């Protein structure tokens, strides 16, 4: 039988693979629906699927049995991740470019590990510390296009925004952990995803989305439904990783999506793999192995 920590690590890696697939699917839909539209629709579909699953398998009593603090922390976690983290991340990409913004914001697992150690008493062992640093170094090699230039007048604004995004995602990950003591990952995400969709639908950028979606082609509508289904599965796997493997390990492993996105992009988008990206994959794999020692 698989140990809890191993199961959690596998779930976190599974969420990274699913996020890589999600990124490719979302990329094909952005031109028609926009980033907010894609996120709002996929969160809505994923949330509906998870609520239906919980109601069918456990009943509505699961939701009413959750404490007020559990509801509060789950709500705060998703609002922190989306309303703050995602918003400032998008601003940072406009200021310093996607590559630099991703490189800075990808450090969020390190922040999550420190916060979890301080407030949740999660141990930071030598394998976790070394594995996290090696994995992060590998991800930097993969996602950092050092030759990319950005408007210098907005450079430090972009750096600061990306750093705030990293901190917001770290705090959000830590906030998820305490409520998981009283519920499973599916129930937690059946609460978080609908809240995420409501936050997104309330933004001004989402107003034209329903009409645009209604006028879109059948192929686009099918892809967004598939994307919503994958979102429900990947989000549950991420939370399962946090519950069973801990904040530090789960956040590091789930952030390895770029490593899986590269071969998918090579296969489906005919992109070429660079030597730096290959070395980054090797380094990331070494970090993952160290995390399991």
The answer to whether residues 139 and 285 touch, using CB atoms and an 8 Å cutoff, is: no
- 3-state DSSP of 247-289: HHHHHHHHCCHHHHHHHHHHHHCCCCCCHHHHHHHHHHHHHHH
Sequence spans of domains, the chain: 4-291
Token match 């830590």: residue?
A: 174
Quote the crossing angle between the two packed helices 247-254 and 275-291, to the nearest 10°: 160
- Give the closest residue to 286 by CA, choosing from 93, 136, 147: 136
Each residue's pLDDT expressed in tens, for the chain with a length of 293 residues: 567 788 888 998 898 888 778 877 877 887 888 878 888 899 999 999 999 999 999 888 899 899 999 999 999 998 898 878 877 887 777 777 666 777 777 778 888 888 888 888 887 777 777 777 777 777 777 766 544 555 555 777 888 888 898 899 899 999 999 999 999 999 999 999 999 899 889 988 889 999 999 999 999 999 999 999 999 999 899 999 999 988 888 888 887 777 777 777 677 666 676 777 777 777 777 776 776 55
Give 156: exposed, middle or buried? Use CB within 10 Å, 0-12, 13-18, 19+. Answer: exposed
What's the CA gap between 125 and 232, in Å, rounded? 31
């Amino acid at each position: 039988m698989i140990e809890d920590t191993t199961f959690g690590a596998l779930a976190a890696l599974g969420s990274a693979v699913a996020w890589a697939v999600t990124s490719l699917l979302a990329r094909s839909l952005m031109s028609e629906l926009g980033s907010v539209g894609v996120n709002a629709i996929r969160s809505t579909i994923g949330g509906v699927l998870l609520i239906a699953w919980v109601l069918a398998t456990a009943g509505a009593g699961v939701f009413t049995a959750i404490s007020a603090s559990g509801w509060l922390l789950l709500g705060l976690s998703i609002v922190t991740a989306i309303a703050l983290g995602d918003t400032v991340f998008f601003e940072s990409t406009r200021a310093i470019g996607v590559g630099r913004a991703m490189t800075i914001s990808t450090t969020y697992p390190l922040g999550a590990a420190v916060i979890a150690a301080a407030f949740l008493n999660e141990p930071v062992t030598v394998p976790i510390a070394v594995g996290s640093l090696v994995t992060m170094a590998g991800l930097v090699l993969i996602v950092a296009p050092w030759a990319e230039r950005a408007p210098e007048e907005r450079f430090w604004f972009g750096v600061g925004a990306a750093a705030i995004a990293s901190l917001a995602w770290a705090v959000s990950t830590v906030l998820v952990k305490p409520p998981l003591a009283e519920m499973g990952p599916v129930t937690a995400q059946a609460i978080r995803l609908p809240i995420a969709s409501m936050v997104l639908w309330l933004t001004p950028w989402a107003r034209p989305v329903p009409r645009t979606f209604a006028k879109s082609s059948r192929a686009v509508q099918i892809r967004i439904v598939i994307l919503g289904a994958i979102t429900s599965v990947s989000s549950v796997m991420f939370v399962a990783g946090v519950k069973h493997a801990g904040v530090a390990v789960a956040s590091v492993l789930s952030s390895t999506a770029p490593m899986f996105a590269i071969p998918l992009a090579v296969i489906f988008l005919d992109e070429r793999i660079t030597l730096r990206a290959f070395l980054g994959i090797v380094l990331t794999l070494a970090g993952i192995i160290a995390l399991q020692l």
